[in-house]
Amino acid sequence: MLVQSAAHGGLRRLPHLRTVLAVYRAGSFGRAAVVLGVSQPTVTNHVKALEDYFGLVLFERNADGVTPTAAAHSIISQVAAPFDQLDRVMAGVYEQDGTHPVRLGGPREFMSARMIPALAALDGARPRIDVTLGEASALLDRLESGSLDVVVSGVRSGRAGLRSWPVADEELILVAAPCLSVPKGVPAALDAVPVIECDSAMTATRRYWNTVFGADPRCRPTLTVPDQRAARSAVLSGLGMAVLPDYLVGEDLADGALIALVDPTEAPLNTLFMTIGEAAIQNRSGAAVLAEAVTELIKRGPAVPTGGRAPGR
């Protein structure tokens, strides 16, 4: 009878466990409430009920939200994978043999040029993989909420319950078509060259100018496009110059379709990070195994031509 009573008591705590998992991943009671679709007092009550049940403190409050204690890490490492599996089953994402796809998110250009070729090079059987393309913040939100398993982005996440590590460095190169006849290596001549950008804030161009020239650019974008592939197309058409990653323009530089307008002593680099839940790492889930294997393949993968320079150098 005591065992039966304890089991029933534990089952009644399942909603509380789910709430603690949401707080662990969200890093705050407020954000967890939004993810769960409940009020913040409900989240607070659930966490307190579970702390009373176990006789443990699970979270320490801080200025940004909460920090999980060692007890929380231990509990989440045991319950995260089962809850995620239940969510996948309830969402209809399952097979008769119990397998499910690894849900992988990342930026369009990197996924197309580096990630997918790395997947093809995996030894042995590959899991089923669902790829989602998008911006870093939206993808990390989906990872945190559990609707993605692994994310590659230019952001090293500091969110509770997530672990990030470097997966690749992309070298940023200022390129243009030869038909523009821009004097190579003459910074002053660049002010009059039309700029192709992916956002009106000129994020890539501004970073390049700050790093290479130690100043803000005086030019303004003449064409703003949705992504780097569209920017590459515009540059190849002679519409202007753009700052683009090495793996996207390597072949264009090698065959002379594009030229690098500056040969800096130290080219700007943009680091991309692989991010996954701590629980997946600790439980050695299929997502964690895939993330680690692909990281190694990308780091030692085939070189991408960059006009005489090794990628990421």
pLDDT digits (tens, 9 = 90+) for 4-47: 344 445 667 788 998 998 888 888 898 888 878 889 999 999 99
| Residues 33 and 161 reside in one and the same domain | no
**Does residue 204 register a pLDDT over 80?**
yes
Helix and strand numbers, DSSP H then E, in the chain = 13, 11
| Average pLDDT along the chain | 82
CA dist 151 and 136 (Å) reads 8
Query: Cα–Cα–Cα angle for 232, 236, 241, nearest 5°?
Result: 70
Do the Cβ atoms of 20 and 32 come closer than 8 Å?
A: no
- The structure's pTM equals 0.62
Domain co-membership, 290 together with 162: yes
Domain count within the chain: 3
- Same domain? 45 vs 131: no
Question: Do 264 and 124 meet the contact criterion of CB atoms below 8 Å apart?
Answer: no
Q: Are residues 204 and 155 in the same domain?
A: no
User: Does a structural domain hold residue 15?
Assistant: yes
Where residue 243 sits, what CATH number does that domain have?
Answer: 3.40.190.10
Asked whether residue 307 is assigned to any structural domain, the reply reads no
Question: What integer pLDDT is reported at residue 234 of this predicted model?
Answer: 95
Per-residue pLDDT for 87 more than 70?
A: no
Query: What is the per-residue pLDDT for 283?
Result: 66
Q: Where are the alpha helices (DSSP H) in 121-175?
A: 136-145
pLDDT digits (tens, 9 = 90+) for 108-125: 889 988 888 888 887 666
Separation CA 282–CA 184 (nearest Å): 51
pLDDT score of 96: 45
pLDDT (0 to 100) of residue 245: 93
* Cα–Cα–Cα angle for 148, 201, 208, rounded to 5 degrees: 90
Q: Using CA of residue 252, residue 253, residue 254, residue 257, what is the dihedral sign?
A: positive
286 and 142 within one domain: yes
Query: For residues 152 and 272, is the Cβ–Cβ distance under 8 A?
Result: yes
Has residue 305 been placed in a domain? no
Tell whether 310 is covered by a domain. no
Whether 149 and 190 map to the same domain: the answer is: no
Q: Are residues 199 and 158 part of one domain? A: no
pLDDT in tens, 46-70: 999 999 988 999 999 888 788 889 8
* Residue 183 and residue 262 in one domain: yes
312 occurs within a structural domain: no
Residues 221, 79, single domain; the answer is: no
Give the C-alpha distances (Å, rounded to integers) separating 76 from 18, 44, 80, 270, 283. 10, 17, 5, 33, 10
Give the pLDDT confidence score for residue 4 in this predicted structure: 39
Nearest to 19 by CA among 29, 8, 10, 11: 29
Percent of the chain residues topping a pLDDT of 70: 86
Domain limits for position 15: 2-90
Q: Are residues 165 and 284 in the same domain?
A: yes
Q: How far apart are the first and last CA of the chain?
A: 67
Residue 111 tokens read as 């996924």
Q: Compute the distance between CA of residue 242 and CA of residue 209 in angstroms, rounded to an integer.
A: 12
**Residue range 219-225: mean pLDDT, rounded:** 88
